[in-house]
Chain A
Amino acid sequence: MSRTFVGMPPFPTAAREALADTQLRHNLAHATGVIRAKRAALVEEQGEVWEPLRLAGAAVKQRALDDLATHLLTLEEQLTSAGATVHWARDAAEASQVVLDVARAHDVDEVVKVKSMVTAEIGLNEHLEAHGVAAWETDLAELIVQLAGDLPSHILVPAIHRNRAEVREIFLREMASAGRPAPADLTDEPAVLAAAAREHLREKFLRAKVGVSGANFAIAETGSLVVVESEGNGRMCLTLPEVLVSVVGIEKVVPTWAELDPLMRLLPRSSTGERMNPYTSVWSGVREGDGPQEVHVVLLDNGRTRALADQVGRQALRCIRCSACLNVCPVYERTGGHAYGSVYPGPIGAILNPLLHGQGDPQTDSLPYASSLCGACFEACPVRIDIPEVLVHLRTQVVDAHRSDRVPKAEAAAMRATAWAFSDASRLGLVERAAGLSGRVLGRLTRSTLPGGRAALGRLPGPGAAWTTARDLPAPPPESFRAWWARTDGGREDGS
């Protein structure tokens, strides 16, 4: 049911395909525009406090990272004395295995999950599913993505690439096989769709024995985890199951309780553009008679210490995953999240993925080039991560890593072409037409269909062969919407 980003083509290739998808471009422009405006209004309301607040937020996270070993040990000690079991995981496989072992110890074949980027990063759902444990996503957008067998495209609104009619279809088609079916008279009203999700998930919440979460913050001083959310699915997963496992990246540490203050002022404003998100849960280990009586916390490295060793790049670990940098990014607004080939898309993904994984993989190596270095992300970032500075730094690393290559990398040329296409609408039209042209040629090789009904290509000839032997590449549509509009005068002339 679930898909992963493994094997995505490098950014320029994936971006060109995304650019040709006008529905996606429309949804993204709308979403990022709306959130941008809400955030801007709240930043203005904060007036002179906003910049000092950003400085404080950056300082808290930087202070936590600068003495990370000390804070991690305090966190471990506090969690343990509060009745939690602390596990350490070097990588994705170790972390996933801890969760699987807990599920097995309780003999369950399902767990309920709170939306968490780190569990997506480690491929937890796939690991659990491969061993017979269903992992139910309970955030509405994650549910849509999971039921559709899709990939998330935005940190905050992962299903932003789906419109309401598609969501209705997905619910009608897929809910029955995952549990309580959607009502037959389901309409495409968002309120009606949300009510269907409530009914579908409630039976899972009420019976689940094991819950799985991430955490937005881990407060060392008090051994408290913090989850920030909107729908209440988080509270359900954190409160109703008997057993709770939380996977927490080691960079989530906040030294003291009082230092949560600037972060709780920055995160909701930067993320959903609200003064405060509907629900925030804080818990410290086991509370007798309230909530899970068996609590596990998995402290995860998975490349974070690699990033920490990079003197310029380590600031990226301050990230609180608010997605403000995505919403202001001109490249992201056009390509969407899938093109970045990772759970961490947008400007932060363009630096975080190479920092976590290092150089060598063409997909990851292409990411530092997915930017015009305009600096909007730095200005928006609540913890003042200088993303352009890190991008430039990483580009030099990529160049250095490829110095010995005899043949110039295809993506170097493609990246220049992509940057050129982004810069001008008429050029974008040219790229769309070119993509459509090759799409028509490549369409003859069509082998299968991707989720969403888009045609997929089989094995590509020539240089593309290496990465299409094992995976599907979506075929570009034969004609872009913009080209169709121009040819038929918006459908008024019969162009079929």
Chain B
Amino acid sequence: MSAREEILGRVRAALADVAPATEPVVGPLAVEPTDAERLDLFVERVADYRAVVERVAEADLAAHVASLFAPGDRVVVPPGLPEDLVAALAHPVADNALGAADLDAADAVVTTAAVGIAETGTIVLDHGPGQGRRALTLVPDRHVCVVRAEQVVADVPQAVTRLAAAVRSGQPLTWISGPSATSDIELDRVEGVHGPRALHVVLVD
């Protein structure tokens, strides 16, 4: 008997006494905040992780993002990033199958996001246009992420609902809550281990 058949057989035998529940479980929902509360909370909670977070008007976005870099910085730009953002950068590096070493040599990366979660201060990438493949937001040491007000949801249940279509179509997700961190040595929190050591979130509203 194959391992597959044997394991499935053992599972069925073990559960002979059980009548399974068929309805999916729905987690409890909290009170819906107002738009203003939601965005304020998002900003507060992102900052809580010691990420830099700023609110910028649409008209100022490109100039503001460009101002975040030093003149010589090589900034990776994923396919689909809005053209005015790319045009404002001094040294944009397009991702035409950059190798890991190329990414390691870059100074930063600019992306958009799919969803922001106010309650937890999280940004979620579904790696669609403007967000790039996963390595792009991992290897460079600085990640600048542009999030739009209408992308910010109140909490995790709302985020899971919004992300369902992307997951069903096979897209990977990366949930990011602050810069990478460790508390492995005497429980002392250190920001910046293997992922970007600096996370910069720009909220457009």
Contact = CB atoms under 8 A, between A and B. Distances in A.
Contacts of A452: none
B135 A291 contact: yes
Given A63-B25, A66-B18, A282-B173, A231 B11 contact: no
A102 interface: no
A190 B21 contact: no
Given A89-B3, A201-B194, A206-B101, A63 B186 contact: no
B194 A258 contact: no
Given A67-B22, A276-B175, A278-B176, 5 more contacts: A69-B8, A72-B11, A190-B190, A283-B173, A309-B13
B133 to A, nearest CB: 4
A278 B173 contact: no
Interface string A196-239: 01100110011000000000000100101000001111011011
Contacts of A238: 134
B175 A279 contact: yes
A260 B25 CA distance: 10
A253 to B, nearest CB: 11
A139 B120 CA distance: 24
A309 B188 contact: no
A43 interface: no
Interface in B122-168: 122, 127, 133-135, 138-139, 156-157, 160-161, 164, 167-168
A278 B28 contact: no
Interface in A49-78: 49, 52-53, 56-57, 59-60, 62-63, 65-70, 72-73
Contact of A305 (B10, B22, B133): B10
Which are the 7 A-B pairs with shortest beta-carbon distances? A232-B195, A67-B20, A232-B194, A262-B27, A305-B10, A309-B14, A290-B133
Interface of A: 27, 30-31, 34-35, 49, 52-53, 56-57, 59-60, 62-63, 65-70, 72-73, 82, 87-90, 94, 138-141, 144, 157-160, 163-164, 167, 190-191, 193-194, 197-198, 201-202, 205-206, 219, 222, 224, 230-233, 235-236, 238-240, 250, 255-262, 264-265, 272, 274-285, 287, 289-291, 299, 301, 305-306, 308-309, 311, 314
Nearest to B21: A63
B26 interface: yes
B4 A233 contact: no
B16 to A, nearest CB: 9
A194 B182 CA distance: 8
Contacts of B100: 205-206, 240
B83 interface: no
A164 B139 CA distance: 27
Main secondary structure of the interface of B (DSSP, over half): loop
B180 A290 contact: no
B14 A258 contact: no
Nearest to A27: B186
B36 interface: no
B17 interface: yes
A278 B137 CA distance: 13
Contacts of B139: 240
B3 A88 contact: yes
A198 B7 contact: no
Contacts of B181: 230-231, 278
A231 B193 CA distance: 5
Given A232-B193, A291-B172, A282 B167 contact: yes
Given A60-B25, A265-B156, A282-B167, A68 B194 contact: no
A233 B25 contact: no
B184 interface: yes
Contacts of B174: 235, 279-282
8 contacts: A27-B186, A66-B20, A159-B185, A233-B194, A257-B167, A281-B173, A282-B175, A299-B7
B178 A278 contact: yes
Contacts of B160: 257-258, 260-261, 264
Interface of A, secondary structure class, is helix
Nearest to A290: B133
Given A72-B8, A258-B24, A277 B2 contact: no
Contact of B120 (A67, A82, A140, A276): A276
Contacts of A235: 134, 138, 174, 194-195
Contact of A206 (B104, B117, B121): B104
A173 B28 CA distance: 51
Contacts of B194: 138, 198, 201-202, 205, 231-233, 235-236
B45 interface: yes
Contact of A280 (B164, B175, B188): B175
Nearest to A91: B3
Nearest to A233: B194
Contacts of B176: 278-279
A290 B171 CA distance: 10
Given A206-B100, A290-B172, A240 B135 contact: yes
B66 to A, nearest CB: 26
A308 B11 contact: yes
Contacts of A260: 160
A59 B120 CA distance: 23
B92 interface: no
B107 interface: no
A183 B80 CA distance: 41
B127 to A, nearest CB: 6
Contacts of B19: 66
A258 B161 contact: yes
Given A202-B194, A281-B174, A285-B170, A140 B182 contact: yes
